[in-house]
Amino acid sequence: MFISTVSLISSNVPHLSSALNGIRLSLHVLAAAVWVGGQIVLAGLVPKVRKVSPEVLSAIANQFAKMAWPAFVVLVLTGLWNASAIDFSATSWAWKVVFIIKLVLVVVTGLASFLHTKAKSKKLIAAWGSVAGTSAIAVLVLGIFITG
Ligand code: HEM
């Protein structure tokens, strides 16, 4: 009985999350979809909008910002909730390194997005936008690697 329980835990048998874990991760992933997916979709739309109707570009960007920043706040809050549910003493050094890199990149994507909204020149707007988007994708990928 003991041996079969141990082999069940150590093998890759899928199991249902508890309701609370499901809510916590769903909120985190939903907010990541808005923050990361929104930036990717916006980057894809911008060239077309600029061609067809350049005057609405800033209205679209401002409206996206109104959704993206609350999503970022939800990411940080649910991220802290995720972290509180982890037994750090049981994690490997590699897991800790990946987690720390993820946290650094969270700061990078937040800061780059802020600077992107404040930049005046086209070059800087593009540069900060691509740093924000690339680091956001990296945070998402690292998040998947650290998920237990
Ligand atoms: C831009 C911000 C962020 C993005 C895009 C992001 C994205 C993700 C994604 C996609 C996952 C995988 C979820 C899954 O596979 O179920 C994840 C997991 C995780 N994230 Fe984040 N995250 C962000 C910010 C944060 C912050 C600020 C923290 C901590 C303060 C954090 C802590 C965690 C932890 C601990 C996990 C693993 C959860 C578990 O295994 O239960 N995240 N993140």
Give 121-140 pLDDT, tens digit per residue: 999 999 999 999 999 999 99
The predicted-structure confidence for 59-110, as pLDDT tens digits, reads as follows: 999 999 999 999 999 999 999 999 999 999 999 999 999 999 999 999 999 9
The rounded Å distance from CA 47 to ligand 1 centre is: 31
106 lines ligand 1 (CB under 6 A): yes
Compute φ and ψ for 142, nearest 5 degrees.
-65, -35
pLDDT of residue 14: 87
Among the atoms of ligand 1, which is closest to the Cα of residue 109?
1
> Does the pLDDT of residue 9 top 80, yes or no?
no
Per DSSP, the residues of the chain read -HHHHHHHHHTT---PPPHHHHHHHHHHHHHHIIIIIHHHHHHHHHHHHHHH-GGGHHHHHHHHHHHHHHHHHHHHHHHHHHHHTS-GGGS-HHHHHHHHHHHHHHHHHHHHHHHHHH--SHHHHHHHHHHHHHHHHHHHHHHHHH--
133 lines ligand 1 (CB under 6 A): no
Identify whether 124 is part of a domain: yes
Identify whether 107 is part of a domain: yes
Identify whether 9 is part of a domain: no
pLDDT of residue 3: 45
Identify whether 1 is part of a domain: no
27 lines ligand 1 (CB under 6 A): no
- Compute how many other C-beta atoms are within 10 angstroms of the C-beta atom of residue 130: 14
Identify whether 30 is part of a domain: yes
105 lines ligand 1 (CB under 6 A): no
The rounded Å distance from CA 10 to ligand 1 centre is: 23
Identify whether 10 is part of a domain: no
Domain of 31 in residue numbering reads as: 17-146
pLDDT of residue 2: 47
What pLDDT band is residue 31 in, cutting at 50, 70 and 90?
very high
Domain count, the chain: 1
What pLDDT band is residue 114 in, cutting at 50, 70 and 90?
very high
Residue 139 CB partners (closer than 8 Å, separation 6+): 32, 36, 102, 105, 106, 109
Identify whether 104 is part of a domain: yes
